[in-house]
Structure formats: C-alpha cells, structure tokens
Amino acid sequence: MGANYWTEERIAKLKSLVGKKSASEIAAELGGGISRNAVIGKMKRMNLAGRSPIRLACVRVPLAPKPAKPTEGYAIGSHAFKVTRAIKALRDGTDAPPKPLPTMRQADVEPLHISLQDLTGANCHWPFGDQAPFTFCGCRTEHNRPYCTAHAALSKGSGSFGERSATRINLRRVA
C-alpha cells in the first residue's frame, strides 16, 4: 500500500480509534481500500497500543526431576539396551525381562550349521543359535556375497519411503 493512503486525516482518525475498536472495524471506518493488516502495520510502526493481549494467570507447577541418563552403555529404550538388560536379568536371576526377546526370521533353506573356524567367503554367514557355540548357515553364496539367496532376502528390509517410491516411478517409466 502506498504512502498516499495514509493522509494526516486518516492518521488522526486512526489515533482516535485505537483502543476503542478492533483493527478490522478501524479499517472499515477508514475505507478507501485500507485492510485490517494495513491498520495493524501502521499501528505497530507508530507504536500505538492496540488491544492489550489477554494474559491469563499461570500457576507454575514444578516438574518432576528427570532420571539421570546413564553415562555408559546404550540409550534407554533402544534394542541393544533391552537385550543387555534381559541378558543381565537372566544371568543374575533378579529381574525377569519385560518382553521376550525377538526371534530372527528363518528362511526356507536347510542350513549346514558350520562353525566359525570352518566358515569361508563362499559360505553363507547367517548366524544360528542363542548361546555359544554359534553356527552359521554355510550354504553356497553367489558372487562372494555374505548370505545365500534365501537369507539375503531376509536381510533386506522393505526400504525407505523414497526407495519404494523411486522403484514405482522407475517401473512406470519403463512400462
């Protein structure tokens, strides 16, 4: 809005209406295409106090102190923290784990259960067992990959949203 809209008469009228009417009512009374936001802006530039904001009396309630974060170990709530806590509870016999530990998905392949000493680069490295001695799948892999075809499918998640949508876009372009 140009400076010619704010004449001395309109500024005087604005000063007389401030505090008595709302900005939209002042804009309607001034007329001439002056908007509510133009009135508010002019009031701020002239340091005119408009309607005083309503302030509610607040009562501050002291918050409970947060528990101290552990300085070592894993973040509380993480999978590693839950597993570590469950293992310590089973070892000490003091506290039962809150949830059972998640089980690993299994593939439709018959594992050879080979030991770590017998594991080579051409064998599948998918682990088996919850306690020592651990064994590995041991099936043949393709192109020196770490897992066989069945376990490679298990090791890959569905991907992020961007990866899934990029696949759909690329498939549309090909078709």
* 159, pLDDT greater than 70: no
Instruction: Provide CB contacts within 8 A for 145, sequence distance 6+.
Output: 152
Q: Which one-letter amino acid corresponds to residue 77?
A: G
CA distance 67 to 149: 46
Which two tokens mark 135?
A: 């064994």
For residue 76, the model assigns a pLDDT of 64
Kindly report, residue by residue over 111-156, the tens digit of the pLDDT: 888 888 888 888 998 888 777 778 898 888 888 788 888 888 777 7
pTM for this prediction: 0.34
pLDDT digit string (tens) for 2-44? 557 788 999 999 889 888 888 889 999 988 888 999 999 888 8
Q: At 151, which amino acid appears?
A: H
Q: Map tokens 């499918």 to a residue.
A: 153
More confident residue, 111 or 165: 111
Here the tokens at position 30 are 């001034």
